[in-house]
Amino acid sequence: MANQFIDTARITVRAGNGGGGAVSFHREKYVAAGGPDGGDGGRGGNVVLRVDSHMSTLMDFRYKRKYVAENGQDGMGKRCSGRDGADLVIKVPRGTVVRDLETREIICDMSGEEDFILAKGGNGGWGNKHFATPTRQVPRFAKAGLPGQSREVILELKLLADVGLVGFPNVGKSTLLSVVTRAQPKIANYHFTTLSPNLGVVPMEEGQSFVLADIPGIIEGAADGAGLGHDFLRHIDRCRLLIHVVDVSGSEGRDPVADFDAICAELERWSPELASRTMLVAANKVDIMEDPTLLDKLRAHVEAKGCPLYEISAATHRGTRELMHAAAALLSQLPPILVYEPTYVERPPEVDTSAPLEITQDEDGTWLVDGPWLRQLMANVNFSDYESRNWFDKRLREAGAYQQMEAQGVQDGDLVCLYNLEFEYRK
C-alpha cells in the first residue's frame, strides 16, 4: 500500500473563523469613567498549499479528506486583541493542479515554489472600544468574528516531465527508462507490467539533463477509459516532447504502422493539442527483428508525418544514447514545461436570505443589525472595492434588508451598524 500511486483526490478545506470582539470597561482605582476597552477578536487561520518536492503521489489525501484551520481567539479586556489562528499548511507534490469541485475550473497550479492561500480566515470582530462616540460613551455590544472561507476542491497530479515515453504495453518503455536513467521500474515480459508512471533524470552535458517519464501502456479506447485509460493520460499533458516507442520485432505478430496510428489516435482524442506536440519515434527491439520490411514501412510512414525515426534496442543499449542526444537537442528549442493559468473566478456563495434579520436600537439611537446570513454575506465582500460595495448593497435590497430596517423604525440619517461596518442610513 505504501507504494500505491494516487494522482487524484477530493478534499474539503475550511479556514478558521474570526474571534469575537470583547465587551469590557476599564476598571481601575482612582480612574473615573475609564470607558470601553474591549479588544478585537483575532483573525482565523488560512488554509495554505505548499509544494513538497519529496512527495510523489496524493496518497496522504486518501484517508484524510477534511482540513480545518484554527479559529481566531476572542478579544479581551484592557484593549487586548485575541491571538490570530494558526495557518494550516497542506503539503502537495509538485505539479498538483487544484480545481473547484463544482465548476472544474483551475484555482491554481502548484508547480513553482510559492505558497497559495486556498481558503482565507475570517476577520476578527471589533471590541466595544470601537463603538464609543461622544453620544455613545458606554457601548455594551461588540461584534462576532466572521466565518472562514470553505471550499471543496479536486487535487489532480500532472507529472512535471520534459519527455514522455508513450506506446503500447510491453514495447520496452520501462527497459528504455532503466537504461538511460537510474530509475528502476518493474520490467517483465507481459503486458501492463507498469501500473503507475515512473520518472528518471537523463544525465547529459551540464545544463542539458532532462526528466523522462514512462507512461503506463496505452491501448485503443484509452481516451474512453479502456485499459489504464485516462488515469495516466493526464501525465503526458505537461511533456514538451514525446518519444513514441514501437515494437518492430514482429515477435507478437503486431503491425508497427497500425500500432503507431492507434496510439496517435488516442492522443488526438484525449487532446488535439497534445497530439500536435513534437514527437520522436523509437523503433525498438531491432536486435530480434524477424522481418526488416516492418521497419522500412514504419520509417516511411512516420517520416512522411514529420517524425524522425531512431532504431534502438533498449535491451542491448543500441542507439539509446543517440536517441537521448536527439531529445536533448530538441528540448533546447522547445518552450518550457506548461504551467496552467488559473481559470477560476471567485463567486460569492449563494446565501439563504429568507431568515429575518435581528434589528435592535441601543440607548444612544444606533441601530444594530444582525443575522447569520448577513454574517456569511459580509465575509465574502471586499469593502475597499467600489464594485464589491455596490454588489453588497444590491444583495441587501434584494433580500429586503432595507425594508425590514424601515419597518423597525430606521429613518433617514440614522446610524446603522452591521458588524464591523457603520454607515449613515440613506433612502
The model's confidence at residue 368, banded by pLDDT at 50, 70 and 90, is confident
CA-CA distance, 92 to 18, in Å (whole number)? Answer: 26
Residue 383: its pLDDT value, please?
78
Q: Give 302-322 as a DSSP string.
A: HHHTT--EEE-BTTTTBTHHH
Residue 12 has pLDDT above 90, yes or no: yes
State yes or no: pLDDT of 223 exceeds 50. no
pLDDT band, very low/low/confident/very high, at 192 (cuts 50, 70, 90): very low
Task: Using pLDDT thresholds of 50, 70 and 90, give the confidence band for residue 134.
Answer: confident
pLDDT for res 32: 57
Q: Which of 114-128, 144-158, 214-228, 337-351 has the lowest mean pLDDT?
A: 214-228
pLDDT for position 30: 65
- 229: three-class secondary structure by DSSP: coil
pLDDT digits (tens, 9 = 90+) for 29-40: 766 567 888 999
Give the model's pLDDT for residue 336: 87
pLDDT at 187: 45
Question: Which ranges of 369-418 does DSSP label H, i.e. alpha helix?
Answer: 372-378, 386-398, 401-408
| Of 383 and 78, the one with more pLDDT | 78
pLDDT above 50 (res 308): yes
pTM: 0.72
- Answer whether residue 234 shows pLDDT above 50: yes
| pLDDT at 201 exceeding the cut of 70 | yes
pLDDT at res. 321 = 94
pLDDT of residue 41: 94
Question: Residue 418: what pLDDT?
Answer: 84
Q: Among the CATH numbers 3.10.450.50, 2.130.10.10, 3.20.20.80, 2.70.210.12, which is that of 1-160?
A: 2.70.210.12
**pLDDT of amino acid 3:** 46
Model pLDDT, residue 364: 74
Q: Partners of 241 in the beta sheet? A: 163, 278
What pLDDT is recorded for position 226? 45
Whether the pLDDT of residue 6 is over 80: the answer is no
Q: What is the pLDDT of residue 283?
A: 96
Give the pLDDT of residue 171.
Answer: 87
Cβ(13)–Cβ(119) under 8 Å? yes
Which three cell numbers, joined as nine digits, stand for 263? 496510439
pLDDT tens-digit series, residues 240-294 = 999 999 999 987 788 999 999 998 988 888 888 888 899 999 999 999 998 999 9
191: pLDDT strictly greater than 50: no
Structure-derived torsion over alpha carbons of residues 216, 156, 199, 59, reported in degrees to the nearest 10: -90
Q: Is the pLDDT of residue 403 over 70?
A: yes
Average pLDDT, the chain: 85
**Highest-confidence segment of 252-256, 314-318, 352-356:** 314-318
The CATH code for residues 350-427 is 3.30.300.350
Q: What percent of the chain has pLDDT over 70?
A: 89
Q: Rounded to an integer, what distance in angstroms lies between the CA atom of residue 233 and that of residue 351?
A: 39
**Residue at 34: amino acid letter:** G
Confidence band of 159 (pLDDT split at 50, 70, 90):
confident
DSSP-assigned beta bridge partners for residue 423: 416
CB 23 within 8 A of CB 140: yes
Q: How far is CA 346 from CA 43, 105, 342, 349, 353, in A?
A: 21, 11, 11, 9, 20
Q: What is the mean pLDDT of residues 215-219?
A: 65
> Residue ranges of the domains in the chain?
1-160, 163-331, 350-427
**In the predicted model, is pLDDT for residue 176 greater than 80?**
yes
The domain 163-331 belongs to what CATH superfamily?
P-loop containing nucleotide triphosphate hydrolases (3.40.50.300)
- H-state helical runs in 101-213: 173-180
Q: Binning pLDDT at 50, 70 and 90, where does residue 206 land?
A: confident
Each residue's pLDDT tens digit, 47-81:
999 999 888 788 889 889 999 999 999 999 888 99
DSSP-based three-state secondary structure for 235: helix
Q: Which range scores top for mean pLDDT: 119-133, 310-324, 374-388?
A: 310-324
Average pLDDT on 372-401 reads: 82
